[in-house]
Every structure is written in C-alpha cells, then in structure tokens.
Copies of this chain bind each other. A is one copy, B any other.
Amino acid sequence: MSSDVLKVIEENKEMYIRWLVDFCKIPSVAAQGRGMDEAVRYVEELFSKELKTSSERLETGGYPVVFSEMPGASDGTVSFYNHYDVQPEDPVDLWETPAFEPNVRNGKLYARGVADNKGNLIARMAAVHALQQVNKQLPMNVKFIFEGEEEIGSVHLPDLVDKYSEKLSSDGCVWEFGYRDPDGTVQLSLGVKGMLYVELEATGATTDLHSANASIIENPVWRLVWALNTLKDERERVLIPGFYDDIQEITESEVELLESYRLDEKATLETLGLDRFLLDLKGKELKHKHIFEPTCNICGIDGGYTGEGSKTVLPAKAKAKIDFRLVPGQDPKKILNALREHLDQHGFEDITIHEWSSEVAARSKPEETLVQAMTSVTEKVSGKAPNIVPNTPGTGPMHVLCQALGIPSASFGVGNATSNNHAPNENIGIDDYIDGIKMAAMLIEEFSVRLSEEKSMVR
C-alpha cells in the first residue's frame, strides 16, 4: 500500500511542485493585509478541484481559518495545523530573486513562505491527493486547520478554539513546521516553548530636555536600566521571585530524548557568525539550556537620542521590549503578575508594563502513538532515524490548539538547516518537499494502523 502511494507521488511530482509554486506567488503577508483573500481562495480551490472535497471558512474576526474534514476508513483522526500567511519580505534588497517570484536554483525552490509555511501546507494536501489516487477512501479521518494569522501572533485562535473545540479535535495533530539538520537528518519536534512578550516603559518630563538638567531631573533611561538589571543576572538567572517554581519536572524519557538529540554546535556557531555560546556552554548543558530552560530576552531598547554623533539630551522616556520564552508548567499570566510585583518591590512602581502577547508552552510525550508513527515514517522515507527534540526553542499556538484539548502533537516538515525563515532567500530543497509529501501520506496510513492496533488491544 505504501509503495503504491509513493509511486503516485513520484508520478505527480511536477504537479505538486506547480501547486506550491503558484501558491508562493501570492504575497499573503498578514501584517500588511496583502494577498490574504487570494491565498484563501487558492487553498479553497485546491480542496474543491484537486482533492474533490469541501472546505469551510471559520470566521475569526480577523483572517479566516480554512478548515476541511475528510472522512476515512477507520475511526481515528489526524489533524494538520498549517498557516497560509507569510512574513513580510523585507529587506527586499537582499533577495537574489524576487520574494514572490518563486525560483529554482541548485535543486532548491526560493520564495517567501516556501519553508514557513506554504511548503508544508501544500505537501500535506498533496499527500491526501496521492492517497486518494490509491484508494477512494482515506485510511483515517483527516482534518486540515489552515490559519491566516500565525505570523501576527495567532491573535484570534484562542477564541476560535473555544468555539470549535469539537470540530478541531483529533487523535493527534501534525504541527506546521519542520527542518533537517545540516547533515540531512529529519528533525522531529515534540513541542514548542511558551511566551510572555511585554514592553516596559519609564517616563520623565513631557519632552526631551537639555542634558544640563540631568543633575536634578530623573532620567527614565537610568530608571529602566536599573529596573532591567534586577530582572536577570550575569549568570543568566532570572531574578523574578517564583519564575522557576512551576516548571514541570523533566521526565526520564525526556532526559533520554535530550541525550540522543543532536545539536551541531560548530555548524550553528558558523551560521550565526559567533565563536562561542552563551556562558561558554557546550554539550549536555548547552542542549539543556536551549531546550528545557526559559529565557528572559531584551528584543529591543530605546530612549533619547539614537542618531549619528552626539546630542546632549535628557530623554523624556525609555522603553524595552522583552520576551520570556517559557517551558511547560510556566503560566504567562502568573509570570506577568510576578514581574509587576517584583518591579514594585524594587521601587519601580513608576515603570509601566504593556503585555503584547502570551502563549503557554507545549510538549508531547515521546511515548505518544503519533510520535511513534512519525518516527517510523521518517525512518522509512529518509532512511534514518529522526533527530528528535523534546520541544523546539521557538513558540507557537500549539498548546491552545492541541494540549489544551488533550491532543498530542508533533512536527516534521520540508525545511532545511538554512531555509532562512523570516529572512531573505527563504528556500526548501525540491527533494525535501517530495519527501515531505511522502512522510505525510505514509503517516496517515501508519497512524491509522497504530491507532487501530491500540484500540484492539484495549478491547
């Protein structure tokens, strides 16, 4: 059965590539409101014309979620979460070919959104198309959940999930992203970090003053610097009381997973143009910090005169944007409260906090049937075991859509080690794309078999 679908995929290769190329021509930049309706219609047409199935728009108040549900031969349900929106293409000058004119060079397809996330979205639709050519009915129920606001923080997703929790339920959700290591090994991620994104602001006089006044007028930049200094020490320890208290204990299987997870230190440093990691970390400690520990990162800081040369001003205000990447167990709301209390305790009642966004961390167990099935098909398609990471250090709305509904989730996909997500010259390998279709198709077969076996064992 597997060999049949692989054959179909090979036969339809050119068409599947065309589907993706045409999709990548649509500049569906949610942040700028460009091409969004066109992208929705493109996906809807693929569903109706190629997959011969219906889809519906779930209205969110923002850009709609395109949802489709296709019945299968067995009871189990697999869902695919993807997004049809992409990042803006800036800086435009650094693209070798225009961002929205997909171009193939050296076996790679270059276009904005091709890795994040159109390649995965189309690969998964192509997988279903290929399975349909083998058997009229799919091996199991398949749901597609295609969001249009992932790149702008999935702002409407929590409300949507509240409303449609039944419709969105499944036995396992394949998450949107996925990459390969520099040596070509497929990465399999079992979760994402959470997030609390805040902006701190200190204010002084109503306008920037002559800095001769610095002797008698408070400087909000100094206030901010002193306040920030109380948040984290030079050993990278976050100093907000209770910050680490609720972190979920790492299980034995997660420890094992981390041990077997490979992080190519040399390649990573080379890509970043650096010669050392934070605190000179290496090996196990480095991996532990990267995967299992939360962060407190200053994304930006700003106050007073920041142009060329010197200008003697006493700034009127100063602000800092901070993202905390959280790990399972940490509650963004609780941490926001703890941050406020901490600042007050240190005499920084004057510093305001604006919350920009928050996300709860998510991590599925390696024992989950979905994970076992994804591991197995990765081996079959790529020829070697995946490099499994307990969670990626990045963030996404996985918890709200999956774990909060009791759905296990994991992620693999068509990206590579230098896919340049959110950056110029975003790309995927054509072969990786075809493998991505194969992995998705085989997963639908394998997951249905494993779920059925499990159920029969329970009986």
Contact = CB atoms under 8 A, between A and B. Distances in A.
A290 interface: yes
Interface stretch (A215-223, A361-369, A436-444): A215-223
Interface stretch (A8-16, A78-86, A134-142, A228-236): A228-236
A332 interface: no
A216 B286 CA distance: 7
Interface in A267-322: 272-274, 277-278, 281, 286, 289-290, 293, 295-307, 309-315, 318-321
Taking chain A's interface residues, is the majority helix, strand, or loop, or is none over half, making it mixed? mixed
Nearest to A192: B212
A7 B15 CA distance: 98
Contacts of A243: none
A63 interface: no
Interface stretch (A103-111, A125-133, A203-211, A404-412): A203-211
A193 interface: yes
Interface size range on A against B: 35 or more
A209 B347 CA distance: 33
A321 B305 contact: yes
A403 B225 CA distance: 37
Contact of A297 (B228, B278, B293, B314): B314
Contacts of A272: 205-206, 209, 213, 217
Contacts of A222: 232, 298
A325 B214 contact: yes
Q: How many copies does the complex hold?
A: 2
Given A325-B212, A356-B309, A218 B304 contact: no
Contacts of A199: 310
A242 interface: no
Interface stretch (A66-74, A252-260, A334-342, A389-397): A389-397
A86 to B, nearest CB: 15
Query: Which 5 A-B pairs have CB atoms at the shortest separation, nearest pair first?
Result: A214-B297, A300-B304, A302-B306, A206-B273, A310-B356
A396 to B, nearest CB: 11
B297 A300 contact: no
28 contacts: A193-B212, A205-B273, A209-B272, A211-B297, A212-B325, A212-B393, A212-B394, A215-B393, A216-B281, A216-B286, A216-B290, A217-B278, A218-B278, A221-B298, A221-B320, A222-B232, A225-B225, A226-B229, A297-B314, A298-B304, A299-B312, A299-B314, A300-B305, A301-B301, A301-B306, A305-B321, A310-B356, A312-B395
A156 interface: no
A357 interface: yes
A210 B295 contact: no
A303 B299 CA distance: 8
Nearest to A288: B215
Contacts of A422: 210
A323 interface: yes
A307 B226 CA distance: 23
